[in-house]
C-alpha cells in the first residue's frame, strides 16, 4: 500500500466526522468498533481493513471511496489495487468457485479454484466470455437467462447435475448468482459462487431412493397380500414399478411344470401381443451346474434367467453377439429378473425399451428384483392354494364316489338280502327238521348281521361326506327307550343278565329331534355292554344334563355294565374308526369297530359329547349328552318289529295294493302277505297304482319308491290330493307305506313330505312289515286273520339245473338258488318270470336308445341288472350295470356299445334259461296266484 494511503484516510476520517458533528465515541458505537481502535486509525498508527473502511463510511453517511479519495489519482489506484489483491486472497482460500461477471458476461475476477478446475491460467480466463464450465448449448439454454435476470437485480439459485469440464463425470453443484454494482463505475456485475456437493447429494439421493424403494415394496406387498387372484396384481405392479423405471413394455411369464412350458401370464406392450409359450422348458433350462453355467445353447433370454436364477440385462448388441433370442419384437435393451421363492424359480418378470439411447442402471435391476421377490410369494401362495383346491376337489370327488359306491353297494346288497331274509322267514314258518331250522336260523342271523354292517358302512360314508342329516320330528322318548330294552331283553335273558332302565321322572316324555339316530346310539352302547358282560347286567340311566328351557332340553344318557372293562390308555382310541380295545377283541367278540365311532359322530351332530370311564374287570360307563327341543305328543309310536296278531275268523282280510315293478320282489312280498292271509293286488307303476285306487278301495298301499313312468313319491303326492281330476281315487287317506332300498334321511323326508305314513327299507323285515300294517289298519275288521296251517314237512331236494361250463358263468342256477334259499320248485316260476321280463326290458332299452331317452334307458337297465343278478346271470348283470351308468352319465355312444354287449349276453342267458326250465321236472307254485 502507498505510504500516503493511511494519511489520506486519517485526514478524510477526521474531516468527515467533524462535518457530521460526531464525537469519536459516538462514531465508534455507530461503526460497532472499539473507541481505542478508532482513535488509532485517526492517528494513522494502524492500517484500516476494507471492512473497517466500509463500516465507518456507513456510520458517517458517506462512501468508502470518499474516505480514501485523494487528488492524487496514482495514490487512489494503488489503494484500489491493494484492496483487490486482499479480496482475491480471501476468495482463493475457499474451495468454492467464485467469479465476477460484468454486464458483457465476461470474467473480470476469478478465484484460484477456477484455474485449478479448468487447467487454464488465470490470464486466459479473465476477459473471456462466461460459460467455460458448461457446454455451449447448456450455457445458452440454462445459464445465460439466469445471468441476465441477476444483472437486472435478482438473486438466482440454481442447482443440478453437471458434467465435469475435464473428466466428464457427473457432479452436483449448487450455484448462487448475486447482483453487485461497482462502487466507482456504478456498472452492474454478477458475483457467482459455485459449490460442489456431489457426495452429499448422492447420499441424499440414496436415502430418498431407499425410502422410495421401501415404500414401493410396502405397497406391492400389501397389494399382493390383499389380492385373491394373482392376475389382478400384474397391472398394479406395473404401474407402481413405472414410478421408478420405464415399464411401457412389461411382461410376466410363469413356469407350468405340468405341461413343461413357460406361459406368458401377463403382457402389457403395444409391440408384443399373444406371445406363444416356451415349450419343453426342462430341456431348455436344465438344472444349473458348474459344467453348464456358461452354456448359452438355450438361446432364450427367459430360459437363461430361469436356468441361472439370476437377473439379466442385455442390449441388442449383446443379443446379436451371443445369439440369444428375445421373445417378441427385438428391443434396444432387455432386462429380466427371476420370480424366485426359496430355491425355486417360478417365472420371469421382464421389461423392454426400444429407444436407441435407453439403458437400465443397477439400481433399476435391484428394485425390479425386490418387486419380483414380493410377487413370488403371491404366485407361490396362489399355486399352493390352487393345489389345495385341486386336492380338495379330488378328495371331494373321491369322497362322493366312495359314498355313491357305498350307497350303490348298499342298494345292491340290500336287494338280495331282502330275498334271503324273506325266504328264510317263509321256510321257518313251515314244518322243518330241527337241523334245517338251525341252518335257517343261522342264515337269517348272518343276513341280519350283514345288514347291520352294511348300515354302519353307509352311515360312515355319509358322515365322512357330511351328508348325514338329522330328522327333526316329535317323538316319545319313553317309547324309544323301552323299545330298546325290549329289543335286547331276549339277549340279556339268554346270558342271565339284568337290563334295567332308570328314567328320571323330571325328564319330559315328548321331545323333538331324531328318534331313530338316538335309538341307534343307545342300541350300539347297550349291544356292546351286553356283548362284553358275562355276569351282572346293564343299566340305562337318563337325566337332565342342565336345567331345561322353553326351547332346549339337554339330556345325559348313561349305559353302565359290569363287564370286562378296559385300561385307561385304550379308552382314548375307543371312538376312532375301525378301532377296538385290542386285536383279540374282534377275534373273540366280533364286530367292525364302527359302532362307537358312528355313535360319537351322531352325538356331536346332536350338539353333545360322549366319553367313557372304565377299569379292567370293573365294568364300563358310557356317557353322552344330546340336545333336543320340547316336543308335542304324537300318535305314532316307534317302529318296533312285532309279530302280527291273529284276528277273529269272522273278520274280512285286509286288501293291500302292492306297487312294485320287479317281478322277483312281487313274488317274495306276495308270498309273505298271502301267507299272513291278506288279499293282494299288484300295480307295476305309479300310474297303474292310481288307476287301481280309482277302481277299488284298498285298506293299505305298499308303494315302491323307484318305478318306471311315475315313481312312488310322485304317485303318493297325487293320491293325497285326491288323484287325477278325470279319475279321482276312492280313498285319498289310504295308508301308504314307502318301500325302498335307499336308507337315507333325504329319501325318507321326501316320502313323508309326499304324504306317506311309514317308511320301510329293503331288504324287508316281514315281521316289521306285519307290525306296521297292524298299526296302520283300523282295528274294525281290518287286522290280518290267522295264517293258514303250515304245510306238511317236505323232504329237502338238492338244487337242480344245468351245469354252466362257460368261461364267465352265463347262468349259475345253483348259486342263485343257494343265495335265494329256495329249491328248484320255487326257482322255476322266478326263472320263467325273469325270462319274460328280460325280453320285455331289452326291447324297451332298444326303443329308449333309438329315441335318445337316456332316463328311460337307465331305468330299464336298472331293472335288467336286478333281474339278471337275482337269477344268477352274473355277467349279464355287469353289462346291465355298465349300461345304467353310461345312461345316467349322458354318454349315448358308450351306452349303445354296452347295450350291444348286453344283447349278446342275454341271448345266451335266454338259451340257458330254457335249458334250466326243461331240466326242472317238478315245478310247484310259490304261493297262491296274485290278483293283478
Q: What is the mean pLDDT of residues 692-699?
A: 94
Question: Is residue 697 predicted with pLDDT exceeding 80?
Answer: yes
Q: What are 774-787's pLDDT values in tens digits?
A: 888 865 344 444 44
Phi and psi angles of residue 661, each rounded to the nearest 5 degrees, phi first: -100, -10
The grid coordinates of residue 696 equal 277299488
What is the model's pLDDT at position 66? 74
**Whole-number Å distance between alpha carbons of 809 and 815:** 10
Q: At what angle do helices 892-919 and 824-851 cross, to 10 degrees?
A: 160
Q: Could you tell me which of 826, 703, 849 has the C-alpha nearest to residue 764?
A: 703
Q: Do 909 and 810 form a contact (C-beta atoms < 8 A)? A: yes
**Whole-number Å distance between alpha carbons of 367 and 746:** 60
Name which residue leads in pLDDT, 8 or 561. Answer: 561
Question: Percent of the chain having pLDDT more than 90?
Answer: 21
3-state secondary structure 804-822: CCCCCCCCCHHHHHHHHCC
Half-sphere exposure of 343 (CA within 13 A, CB side): 2
Question: Is residue 695 predicted with pLDDT exceeding 90?
Answer: yes
What is the model's pLDDT at position 783? 42
Which DSSP symbol is given to 300? Answer: B
**Whole-number Å distance between alpha carbons of 517 and 498:** 25
**Whole-number Å distance between alpha carbons of 783 and 796:** 34
Q: Do 247 and 238 form a contact (C-beta atoms < 8 A)? A: yes
Which DSSP symbol is given to 152? Answer: T
Question: What pTM was computed for the model?
Answer: 0.38
Q: Could you check whether the bond before residue 599 is cis, i.e. omega within 30 degrees of 0?
A: no
Neighbouring-strand partners of residue 785: 647
Neighbouring-strand partners of residue 522: none
Question: Is residue 794 predicted with pLDDT exceeding 70?
Answer: no
Q: What is the mean pLDDT of residues 729-751?
A: 83
Question: 3-class DSSP state for residue 522?
Answer: helix
Place of cell 280313498: 731
Contacts of 123 (CB under 8 A, 6+ apart): none
Q: How many CB atoms lie within 10 A of CB 511?
A: 23
The grid coordinates of residue 90 equal 480471501
What is the model's pLDDT at position 656? 94
**Whole-number Å distance between alpha carbons of 312 and 321:** 15
Question: Is residue 138 predicted with pLDDT exceeding 50?
Answer: yes
Question: 3-class DSSP state for residue 288?
Answer: coil
Question: 3-class DSSP state for residue 106?
Answer: strand
Neighbouring-strand partners of residue 315: 333
**Whole-number Å distance between alpha carbons of 225 and 112:** 60
Question: What's the Cα-to-Cα distance from 668 to each of 228, 318, 406, 794, rounded to whole Å?
Answer: 60, 89, 25, 20
Q: DSSP states of 15-45 as a string?
A: HHHHHTT--HHHHHHHTT--HHHHHHHHHTS
What mean pLDDT value characterizes the chain? 80
3-state secondary structure 596-620: HHHHHHHHHHCCCCEEEEECCCCCE
Place of cell 273278520: 651
Question: Is residue 16 predicted with pLDDT exceeding 70?
Answer: yes
Least confident of 230-239, 282-291, 377-386, 707-716: 282-291
Query: Sign of the CA dihedral 65, 67, 71, 74?
Result: negative
Question: 3-class DSSP state for residue 630?
Answer: strand
Phi and psi angles of residue 874, each rounded to the nearest 5 degrees, phi first: -65, -45
What is the model's pLDDT at position 68? 73
The helices-and-strands tally (H runs, E runs) of the chain is 32, 23
Beta strands in 244-327 (DSSP E): 249-256, 261-268, 278-279, 312-315
What is the model's pLDDT at position 624? 96
Strand 510-513 and strand 553-561: pairing?
unpaired
What is the model's pLDDT at position 538? 94
Neighbouring-strand partners of residue 510: 476
Q: What is the mean pLDDT of residues 236-246?
A: 88
Q: What are 141-156's pLDDT values in tens digits?
A: 999 999 999 999 999 9
What is the model's pLDDT at position 744? 67
Half-sphere exposure of 888 (CA within 13 A, CB side): 10
Contacts of 575 (CB under 8 A, 6+ apart): 596, 597, 599, 600, 610
**Whole-number Å distance between alpha carbons of 6 and 18:** 18
**Whole-number Å distance between alpha carbons of 537 and 929:** 50
Strand 170-181 and strand 278-279: pairing?
unpaired
The greatest distance separating any two alpha carbons of the chain, rounded to the nearest whole angstrom, comes to: 171
Question: Is residue 833 predicted with pLDDT exceeding 70?
Answer: yes
Least confident of 157-166, 275-284, 594-603, 921-930: 921-930
Question: Is residue 218 predicted with pLDDT exceeding 90?
Answer: no
pLDDT band at 932 (very low <50, low <70, confident <90, very high): very low
CA 594 to chain centre: 30
Question: Is residue 289 predicted with pLDDT exceeding 70?
Answer: no
**Whole-number Å distance between alpha carbons of 650 and 663:** 33
What is the model's pLDDT at position 789? 38
Least confident of 150-164, 620-634, 690-704, 797-811: 797-811
Q: What are 497-507's pLDDT values in tens digits?
A: 999 988 888 89
**Whole-number Å distance between alpha carbons of 541 and 502:** 5
pLDDT band at 514 (very low <50, low <70, confident <90, very high): very high
Q: Do 174 and 197 form a contact (C-beta atoms < 8 A)? A: yes
Q: Do 375 and 280 form a contact (C-beta atoms < 8 A)? A: no
Q: What is the mean pLDDT of residues 231-248?
A: 86
What is the model's pLDDT at position 403? 65
- Burial of residue 858 (number of CB atoms within 10 Å: 0-12, 13-18, 19+): buried
- Burial of residue 726 (number of CB atoms within 10 Å: 0-12, 13-18, 19+): exposed
Question: Is residue 578 predicted with pLDDT exceeding 70?
Answer: no
**Whole-number Å distance between alpha carbons of 342 and 685:** 67
Return the C-alpha torsion angle 508, 514, 517, 522, nearest 10.
Answer: 0
Give the 3-state secondary structure percentages of the chain, helix then strand then coil, rounded to 5.
50, 15, 35
Q: What is the mean pLDDT of residues 243-261?
A: 89
- Burial of residue 641 (number of CB atoms within 10 Å: 0-12, 13-18, 19+): middle
What is the model's pLDDT at position 464? 65
Question: What's the Cα-to-Cα distance from 477 to each of 237, 488, 630, rounded to whole Å?
Answer: 65, 17, 11
What is the model's pLDDT at position 589? 47
pLDDT band at 177 (very low <50, low <70, confident <90, very high): very high
Q: What is the mean pLDDT of residues 206-218?
A: 77
Question: Is residue 104 predicted with pLDDT exceeding 50?
Answer: yes
**Whole-number Å distance between alpha carbons of 252 and 263:** 9
**b/e sequence 65-74, b meaning 16+ C-beta within 10 Å:** eebbbbeeee
Q: What is the mean pLDDT of residues 320-326?
A: 85
Q: What are 396-452's pLDDT values in tens digits?
A: 777 677 666 766 666 677 777 777 877 787 787 777 888 888 788 778 777 776 777
Q: What are 861-870's pLDDT values in tens digits?
A: 878 887 887 7
**Whole-number Å distance between alpha carbons of 802 and 812:** 8
Contacts of 331 (CB under 8 A, 6+ apart): 249, 316, 352, 353, 354
The grid coordinates of residue 579 equal 378301532
Q: List the alpha helices (DSSP H) in 590-739.
A: 595-605, 663-675, 686-695, 712-720
Q: What is the mean pLDDT of residues 151-169?
A: 89
Amino acid at each position: 500500500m502507498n505510504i500516503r494511503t493511511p494519511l489520506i484516510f486519517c485526514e478524510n476520517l477526521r474531516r468527515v466526522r467533524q462535518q457530521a458533528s460526531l464525537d469519536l465515541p459516538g462514531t465508534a458505537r455507530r461503526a460497532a468498533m472499539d473507541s481505542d481502535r478508532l482513535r488509532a486509525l485517526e492517528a494513522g498508527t494502524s492500517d484500516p481493513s476494507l471492512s473497517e473502511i466500509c463500516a465507518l463510511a456507513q456510520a458517517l453517511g458517506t462512501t468508502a471511496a470518499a474516505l480514501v479519495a485523494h487528488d492524487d489519482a496514482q495514490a487512489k489506484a494503488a489503494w484500489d489495487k491493494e484492496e483487490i489483491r486482499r479480496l482475491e486472497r480471501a476468495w482463493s482460500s475457499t474451495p468454492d468457485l467464485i467469479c465476477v461477471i460484468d454486464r458483457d458476461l465476461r470474467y473480470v475476477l476469478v478465484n484460484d479454484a477456477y484455474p485449478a478446475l479448468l487447467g487454464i491460467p488465470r490470464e486466459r480466463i479473465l476477459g473471456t466470455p462466461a460459460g467455460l464450465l458448461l457446454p455451449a448449448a447448456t450455457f445458452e439454454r440454462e445459464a445465460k437467462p439466469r445471468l441476465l435476470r441477476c444483472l437486472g437485480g435478482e438473486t438466482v439459485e440454481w442447482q443440478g447435475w453437471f458434467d465435469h469440464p475435464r473428466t466428464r463425470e457427473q457432479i452436483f453443484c449448487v450455484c448462487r448468482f448475486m447482483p453487485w454494482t461497482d462502487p466507482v463505475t456504478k456498472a452492474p456485475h454478477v458475483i457467482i459462487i459455485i459449490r460442489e456437493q456431489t457426495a452429499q447429494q448422492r447420499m441424499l439421493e440414496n436415502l430418498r431412493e431407499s425410502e422410495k424403494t421401501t415404500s414401493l415394496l410396502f405397497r406391492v406387498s400389501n397389494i399382493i397380500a390383499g389380492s385373491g387372484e394373482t392376475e389382478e396384481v400384474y397391472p398394479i405392479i406395473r404401474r407402481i414399478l413405472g414410478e421408478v423405471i420405464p415399464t411401457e413394455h412389461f411382461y410376466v411369464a410363469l413356469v407350468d411344470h405340468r405341461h413343461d412350458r413357460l406361459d406368458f401370464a401377463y403382457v402389457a406392450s403395444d409391440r408384443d401381443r399373444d406371445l406363444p409359450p416356451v415349450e419343453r422348458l426342462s430341456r431348455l433350462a436344465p438344472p444349473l451346474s458348474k459344467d453348464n453355467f456358461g452354456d448359452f445353447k438355450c438361446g432364450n433370454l427367459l430360459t437363461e434367467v430361469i436356468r441361472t436364477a439370476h437377473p439379466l440385462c442385455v442390449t441388442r448388441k449383446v443379443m446379436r453377439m451371443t445369439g440369444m433370442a428375445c421373445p417378441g419384437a427385438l428391443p434396444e435393451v432387455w432386462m429380466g429378473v427371476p420370480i424366485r421363492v426359496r430355491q425355486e424359480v417360478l417365472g420371469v418378470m421382464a421389461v423392454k425399451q426400444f429407444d436407441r439411447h435407453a439403458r437400465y442402471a443397477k439400481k433399476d435391476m435391484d428394485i425390479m428384483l425386490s418387486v419380483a421377490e414380493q410377487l413370488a410369494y403371491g404366485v407361490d401362495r396362489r399355486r399352493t392354494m390352487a393345489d389345495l383346491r385341486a386336492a380338495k376337489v379330488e378328495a371331494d370327488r373321491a369322497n362322493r364316489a366312495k359314498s355313491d359306491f357305498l350307497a350303490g353297494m348298499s342298494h345292491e346288497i340290500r336287494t338280495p338280502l331282502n330275498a334271503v331274509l324273506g325266504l328264510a322267514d317263509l321256510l321257518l314258518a313251515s314244518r322243518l327238521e330241527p337241523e334245517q331250522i338251525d341252518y335257517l336260523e343261522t342264515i337269517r342271523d348272518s343276513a341280519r348281521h350283514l345288514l347291520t354292517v352294511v348300515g354302519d358302512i353307509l352311515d360312515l360314508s355319509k358322515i365322512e361326506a357330511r351328508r348325514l342329516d338329522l330328522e327333526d320330528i316329535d317323538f316319545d322318548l319313553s317309547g324309544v327307550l323301552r323299545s330298546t330294552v325290549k329289543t335286547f331283553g331276549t339277549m340279556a335273558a339268554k346270558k342271565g343278565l339284568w337290563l334295567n332302565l332308570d328314567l328320571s321322572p323330571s325328564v319330559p316324555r315328548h321331545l323333538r329331534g331324531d328318534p331313530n339316530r338316538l335309538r341307534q346310539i343307545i342300541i350300539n352302547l347297550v349291544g356292546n355292554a351286553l356283548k362284553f358282560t358275562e355276569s351282572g347286567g346293564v343299566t340305562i340311566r337318563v337325566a337332565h344334563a342342565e336345567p331345561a328351557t322353553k326351547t332346549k332340553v339337554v339330556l345325559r344318557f348313561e349305559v353302565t355294565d359290569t363287564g370286562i372293562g378296559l385300561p385307561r390308555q385304550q379308552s382314548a382310541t375307543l371312538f376312532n374308526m375301525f378301532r377296538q380295545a385290542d386285536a383279540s377283541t374282534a377275534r373273540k367278540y366280533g364286530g367292525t369297530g364302527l359302532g362307537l365311532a358312528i355313535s360319537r359322530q351322531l352325538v356331536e351332530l346332536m350338539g353333545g359329547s360322549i366319553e367313557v370311564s372304565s377299569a379292567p374287570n370293573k365294568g364300563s360307563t358310557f356317557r353322552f349328552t344330546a340336545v333336543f327341543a320340547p316336543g308335542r305328543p304324537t300318535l305314532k309310536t316307534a317302529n318296533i318289529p312285532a309279530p302280527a296278531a291273529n284276528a277273529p275268523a269272522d273278520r274280512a282280510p285286509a286288501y293291500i295294493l302292492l306297487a312294485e315293478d320287479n317281478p322277483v320282489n312281487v313274488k317274495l312280498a306276495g308270498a309273505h302277505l298271502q301267507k299272513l292271509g291278506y288279499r293282494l293286488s299288484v300295480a307295476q307303476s305309479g300310474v297303474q297304482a292310481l288307476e287301481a285306487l280309482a277302481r277299488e278301495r284298498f285298506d293299505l298301499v305298499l308303494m315302491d319308491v323307484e318305478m318306471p313312468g311315475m315313481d312312488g313319491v310322485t304317485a303318493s303326492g297325487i293320491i293325497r290330493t285326491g288323484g287325477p281330476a278325470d279319475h279321482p281315487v276312492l280313498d285319498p287317506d289310504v295308508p301308504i307305506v314307502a318301500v325302498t332300498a335307499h336308507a337315507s334321511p333325504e329319501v325318507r323326508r321326501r316320502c313323508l313330505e309326499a304324504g306317506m305314513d311309514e317308511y320301510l327299507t329293503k331288504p324287508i323285515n316281514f315281521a316289521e312289515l306285519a307290525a306296521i300294517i297292524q298299526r296302520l289298519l283300523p282295528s274294525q275288521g281290518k287286522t290280518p286273520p290267522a295264517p293258514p296251517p303250515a304245510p306238511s314237512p317236505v323232504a329237502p331236494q338238492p338244487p337242480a339245473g344245468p351245469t354252466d361250463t362257460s368261461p364267465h358263468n352265463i347262468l349259475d342256477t345253483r348259486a342263485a338258488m343257494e343265495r335265494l334259499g329256495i329249491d328248484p320248485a320255487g326257482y322255476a316260476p322266478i326263472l320263467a318270470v325273469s325270462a319274460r321280463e328280460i325280453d320285455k326290458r331289452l326291447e324297451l332299452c332298444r326303443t329308449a336308445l333309438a329315441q335318445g331317452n337316456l332316463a328311460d334307458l337307465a331305468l330299464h337297465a336298472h331293472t335288467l341288472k336286478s333281474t339278471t343278478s337275482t337269477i344268477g346271470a352274473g355277467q349279464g348283470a355287469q353289462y346291465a350295470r355298465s349300461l345304467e351308468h353310461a345312461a345316467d352319465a349322458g354318454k349315448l355312444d358308450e351306452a349303445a356299445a354296452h347295450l350291444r354287449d348286453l344283447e349278446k349276453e342275454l341271448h345266451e342267458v335266454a338259451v340257458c334259461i330254457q335249458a334250466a326250465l326243461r331240466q326242472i321236472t317238478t315245478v310247484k307254485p310259490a304261493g297262491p296266484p296274485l290278483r293283478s
